[in-house]
Amino acid sequence: MAFEGLAERLQGTLNKIRGKGKVSEQDVKEMMREVRLALLEADVNFKVVKDFIARVKERAVGADVFESLTPGQQVIKIVNEELTALMGGEQSKIAVAPKSPTVVMMVGLQGAGKTTTTGKLANHLRKKHNRNPLMVAADIYRPAAIKQLETLGKQLNMPVFSMGDQVSPVEIAREALAKAKEEHNDYVLIDTAGRLHVDEDLMGELDEIKELAKPDEILLVVDAMTGQDAVNVAESFNERLGITGVVLTKLDGDTRGGAALSVKAVTDTPIKFAGMGEKVDQLEPFHPDRMASRILGMGDVLTLIEKAQTNVDEARAKELERKMRTNELTFDDFLEQLGQVRNMGPLDELLNMMPGAGKMKGLKNVQVDDKQIGQIEAIVRSMTKAEKEDPSILNASRRRRIAKGSGTSIQDVNRLIKQFGEMKKMMKQMSGMQQKGKKKKGGL
C-alpha cells in the first residue's frame, strides 16, 4: 500500500498533539524530531527533509493562528500544507499543444513501467478527455516491448504504430508523426527505448528523437519503489534531456514514499501521474494536496468520489436513490451496489481514501475483505426471487437452505440479513435528511 509505513508513523506522532489546547515550543521541537526521523526512514532526500522541518518549525512556533483550530490542529494543518507544497502544491496537468497533435515522449529506465504507462496514459486520455491518441512503439532494444505495446493496443482497441526493431527510433518517430496527421490523432505517445542505466548512448538517441519530434511533453517514468534511486534517475534525465513531468509507477507497492516526496523538490519537475497497479486503468492524476491528506490519514474523499462517478451509471444511481427513499431496496440492488464498489478497486485502497481510515484499519472485523464480499454474493445468489425482494419471509428453514446452498453457516446468513435490515433503515434516514436539506435550500 502506498505510503503505509510513513503514514503510520506520521499519524502516530501527530495524534499525540492533535487535541492539545496548548502546544509549547518544546512540544513542536519534539514532534519535529519524530517527523524528521519518519521522513528519513521513508527514504526522503536528506536535504529535502532538513528544509521541510525548518519551514514547519518556523511556522508552527510563529504567528499562524486560526481561532477555529486548537494549537495541536494548527500544527497538523501546517504539516499538511507543507507536505502538499513539497509535492508541488497544485496539480500539474498534462500538456495540450496549441496545434494538434500534442506529442508526448515517454522516457525512463528499463523495468520502470514505461510501456505499461504508455498504454495507461492512452486509456486515460481517451476515457477522461475524449482524446484519440496514437501509441508509437519506438523501444527497439527491449525484445518484448513492441509486442507488449501492440498487445496493449489490442486490449484497449486503440492504434499502435510500429515498424519492427530494424528501423531507427528517429525514423519510427518521423513516420509516426506523419501517420498521426493523416489519421487525425490528437495525441502521439512515443514509447522510447529504455536501458538498464543512464548512459550516453541512450541520452544521445533520446536527444535525436526530441530534436525531430519537438515534444510538448517529456514524461519520465520512474519506479517509486526504488526511492532515492528514482530521484537520482530523474536528476540525470532532467540535466541531460530536460523533462517536463514525472510519472511515478508502482506507488501501490511503495510503503515509504521517499521518491514521491523528494522528486519535485530535487528536480523542480512536477509529478503528473501515479501508477497504482498493473491494470490499464490504474493510473491516477497526481494531486499533491490529496496525497498529503492520505499520508496524514485525513482521507482523499475527492478521489473516491471521482472513482465512484466513473464507475457508477447515473440513471441506475438515481433509481437506487429513489428505492432507498421509499424503502424498496432489494437484495438484488444490494448485490449490484457491492459489485460497483468492487469495480472501483481493491477495498483496502478505497478505505485508505476515507478520513480516519487509519484508525479503522486495526479493526479486522470491519467488513472489507474481498473474500467476505464473495461470501455475501454467494448467500444472495442462493435466495429465491421472492426472498430477495421481501426478506421478511426468510424463516428458519429458508435460512438453513440458503446457508447450505451458499456453502456458509446459518450465522453468516443471519448476520447478512440483519445488516441488510440495518442498512435499509439507515439509508431511509439518510435520504430523509437529504430531502429535508434540499427543501430548505429551495425555500430560502
Binding site for ligand GDP (CB under 6 A): 108, 110-116, 142, 145, 194, 249-250, 252-253, 275-278
Asked if residue 421 belongs to a known ligand binding site, the reply is no
Asked if residue 118 belongs to a known ligand binding site, the reply is no
Burial class of residue 53, CB neighbours in 10 A (0-12, 13-18, 19+): middle
Asked if residue 2 belongs to a known ligand binding site, the reply is no
Supply the minimum distance, in Å, between the C-beta of residue 123 and ligand GDP: 13
- Helices in 352-395 by DSSP H: which ranges? 357-360, 370-381, 385-389
Fill in the DSSP letter of residue 218.
Answer: E
Our CB check for ligand GDP shows the closer of 110 and 151 to be 110
Fill in the DSSP letter of residue 285.
Answer: E
Our CB check for ligand GDP shows the closer of 251 and 329 to be 251
What letter represents residue 41's amino acid? E
Asked if residue 108 belongs to a known ligand binding site, the reply is yes
Contact 36, 55 (CB under 8 A): no
Supply the minimum distance, in Å, between the C-beta of residue 271 and ligand GDP: 13
Fill in the DSSP letter of residue 246.
Answer: E
Our CB check for ligand GDP shows the closer of 350 and 402 to be 350
Contacts of 208 (CB under 8 A, 6+ apart): 169, 170
Our CB check for ligand GDP shows the closer of 160 and 383 to be 160
Q: Strands (DSSP E) along 79-228, which ranges?
A: 102-108, 133-137, 160-161, 187-191, 217-223
Supply the minimum distance, in Å, between the C-beta of residue 191 and ligand GDP: 7
Our CB check for ligand GDP shows the closer of 1 and 351 to be 1
Our CB check for ligand GDP shows the closer of 164 and 362 to be 164
Asked if residue 173 belongs to a known ligand binding site, the reply is no
Supply the minimum distance, in Å, between the C-beta of residue 201 and ligand GDP: 17
Residue that has been written with the C-alpha cell 530535487 in this structure: 266
Q: How far is CA 365 from the centre of its chain?
A: 25
Supply the minimum distance, in Å, between the C-beta of residue 259 and ligand GDP: 13
Our CB check for ligand GDP shows the closer of 114 and 264 to be 114
- Cα 402 to Cα 144, 380, 381, 420, distances in angstroms: 50, 8, 9, 16
Asked if residue 267 belongs to a known ligand binding site, the reply is no
Concatenate the DSSP letters of all residues of 124-160 into one string: HHHHHH---EEEEE---SSTTHHHHHHHHHHHHT--E
Asked if residue 115 belongs to a known ligand binding site, the reply is yes
Asked if residue 439 belongs to a known ligand binding site, the reply is no
Supply the minimum distance, in Å, between the C-beta of residue 276 and ligand GDP: 6
Asked if residue 357 belongs to a known ligand binding site, the reply is no
Our CB check for ligand GDP shows the closer of 233 and 320 to be 233
Q: How many CB atoms lie within 10 A of CB 272?
A: 22
Q: Which residue is nearest to ligand GDP (CB)?
A: 275
Q: Are strands 271-275 and 283-285 parallel, antiparallel or unpaired?
A: antiparallel
Supply the minimum distance, in Å, between the C-beta of residue 153 and ligand GDP: 14
Contacts of 8 (CB under 8 A, 6+ apart): 358
Supply the minimum distance, in Å, between the C-beta of residue 158 and ligand GDP: 16
Asked if residue 294 belongs to a known ligand binding site, the reply is no
Query: Which residues define the annotated binding site?
Result: 108-115, 191-195, 249-252
Query: Which residues define the annotated binding site for GTP?
Result: 108-115, 191-195, 249-252
